[in-house]
Amino acid sequence: MRARSAFFAGMGSAAIIAIGWQAGVGTLVSALPESQASASGTSNSASSATTSNSSTSTTDTSAAAPAATTAPVASGPADGTYDGSVVNTRFGTVQVQAVISGGKITDVIAVKLTDADRKSIAISQQVAPMVRSEVLTAQSAHVANISGGTYTTQAYLQSLQSALDAAGFTG
Amino acid sequence: MAVHSFETMGTMVSIRIADADLGTIDAIPVLNEVEHNFAQLNETFSLYREDSEASRIASGELALADSSELMRDEYARALQWRDRTGGAFTPHRPDDVIDLSGTIKAVAIDQAAGILTEAGFANFSVNVGGDLTTAGNQAEDIPGWITGIVEPSDRNTLLAAVRLTEEFPAMATSGSAERGEHIWLRPETTKEFVQASVIANDIITADVLATAIISGGSETLNQITQDFSVAVVTVGLDGAVQANAKFQELVAR
């Protein structure tokens, strides 16, 4: 259990980002570590999920929001809040802010999600770009199965899955 | 945890049985039955076997109308999924050959889980080449089954780890980098995603929808997340990750 507690701490900021995306930034603090067991509850209501902060600055229209948010990290930025590019999609514009602290992304704030019409808002809530390194950081402890494409037998033998098999992994 | 692995349908099956279920039931005859069931479905539906019923239909030797009830039922099932995905998933190859491998593997996983459950097992996973369904818990102190998703740009690392539980026990990942022989891009679609993972209440839904997202792109992705209760994570050609709220709930923490 000790290892898992440490993982909770590590995942804190990731959870913030994840929930921040779906609910705006205000409600998420209560949803952190301890609520893990009830993760199946649906918080998927259809209410508007738009903006938390208004933002100024950057209006270059590059193609991909995630690249815009991760790029500053790779170059070792100073602490602060960085505006992502405004990205035009067919459903409207999207912009996020990344909060950097200690060289890591500690939060991602949706400044603007698409709101061209109600359907677009629904889409924004359902699938959103995510910051890979923070939100999806994998914790390999306790992983019992691997999902990933259809392995050929040969590829399988080289895969993480077979490594788990060979180790007699016991969870 | 005990692991039983065997090869079928051109890939590997790994069946994991949690400690809680070991010792109470003789697993060997049950696992034999599972293995036999995979083999039978493969014999009927594989297009890699010249003597299979599917190959005889493909060659014109056997008319679909004269095929077995099983064949026609599975074809009907695949056609339903074609309609439910707006055509993004289809059992028809570009050369018009009927290829049901896109659903049959998932059907086989589903039936394997059924056989295990019927035999009294309550805590297990059935993983076939990275598509899997689960039941119960992997260990007494680990609820559900923690499942890693491969990072498509580096297959030795994980993109994410999720916890599969009773409500969302099944997961499938499709990738255009892998053996994509049952994925055909629609002519009007350019490739948008290198990998799509779908977590659903059953493995057939998960498998079909993961394939459909690769095939149909973001339009299909948006349709699926609105029409189905599923968790989805995708990786774009540029490496960008997208996920829906349900996926974020399932991330193992």
- pLDDT for res A147: 84
Nearest CA in chain B to A154: B11
Mean pLDDT within B72-87: 96
- pLDDT for res A104: 59
A73 to chain B, minimum CA–CA distance in Å? 15
Tell me how far apart the alpha carbons of residues A72 and B178 are, in angstroms, rounded to a whole number.
Answer: 32
- pLDDT for res B127: 94
| A137 vs B236, higher pLDDT | B236
- pLDDT for res A88: 61
Three-state SS at A150: coil
Mean pLDDT within A73-89: 60
Across chain A, what does the average pLDDT equal?
46
pLDDT for residue B100 is more than 50: yes
pLDDT for residue B227 is more than 60: yes
| B224 phi and psi angles, rounded to 5 deg | -65, -45
| B14 vs A145, higher pLDDT | B14
Mean pLDDT within A50-73: 35
| B180 vs A92, higher pLDDT | A92
Beta-carbon contacts of residue B204 (< 8 Å; ≥ 6 apart): B77, B103, B106, B107, B110
Assigned token pair, B72:
């026609």
Q: Say which residue the tokens 């199946």 belong to.
A: A40
* DSSP secondary structure letters along chain B: -EEEEEEETTEEEEEEE-GGGTTTS-HHHHHHHHHHHHHHHHHHH-SSSTTSHHHHHHTTSS-GGGS-HHHHHHHHHHHHHHHHTTTSS-SB-TTS-B--HHHHHHHHHHHHHHHHHHTT--SEEEEETTEEEEES-SBTTB-SEEEEEEETTEEEEEEEEEEE-SSS-EEEEEETTS--TT----TTPPP-EEEEEEEESSHHHHHHHHHHHHHHHHHHHHHHHHHS--EEEEEETTS-EEE-HHHHHHB--
Tell me how far apart the alpha carbons of residues A86 and A96 are, in angstroms, rounded to a whole number.
Answer: 8
- pLDDT for res A159: 45
B146 interface with A at CB cutoff 8 Å:
yes
DSSP state of A84: P
- pLDDT for res A106: 58
Mean pLDDT within B190-195: 83
- pLDDT for res B188: 54
pLDDT for residue A99 is more than 90: no
| A22 vs B111, higher pLDDT | B111
Say which range, A119-128, B66-75, B237-246, has the weakest mean pLDDT: A119-128
pLDDT for residue A56 is more than 50: no
pLDDT tens string A109-155: 555 555 554 444 444 446 777 766 544 554 556 778 888 744 433 34
Judged by CB atoms closer than 8 Å, whether chains meet at B131 and A150 is answered as: yes
- pLDDT for res B228: 93
Are B90 and B191 a contacting pair, CB within 8 Å? no
pLDDT tier for residue A94 given thresholds of 50, 70 and 90: low
- pLDDT for res A129: 76
Mean pLDDT within B5-30: 90
Judged by CB atoms closer than 8 Å, whether chains meet at B178 and A37 is answered as: no
Element (H, E) at A80: strand A80-83
Q: In the sheet that B154-164 helps form, which strands lie side by side, from edge to edge?
A: A145-147, B145-151, B154-164
The interface residues of chain B toward chain A in range 10-39, judged by CB-CB distance below 8 A, are: 10-12, 14, 16, 18-19
Judged by CB atoms closer than 8 Å, whether chains meet at A147 and B173 is answered as: yes
pLDDT for residue B22 is more than 60: yes
Mean pLDDT within B13-22: 92
Compute the count of residue pairs across chains A and B with CB atoms less than 8 Å apart.
220
- Give the torsion sign (CA, B245, B249, B251, B253): positive
pLDDT tens string B203-218: 999 999 999 999 999 8
pLDDT tier for residue B160 given thresholds of 50, 70 and 90: confident
Judged by CB atoms closer than 8 Å, whether chains meet at B147 and A149 is answered as: no
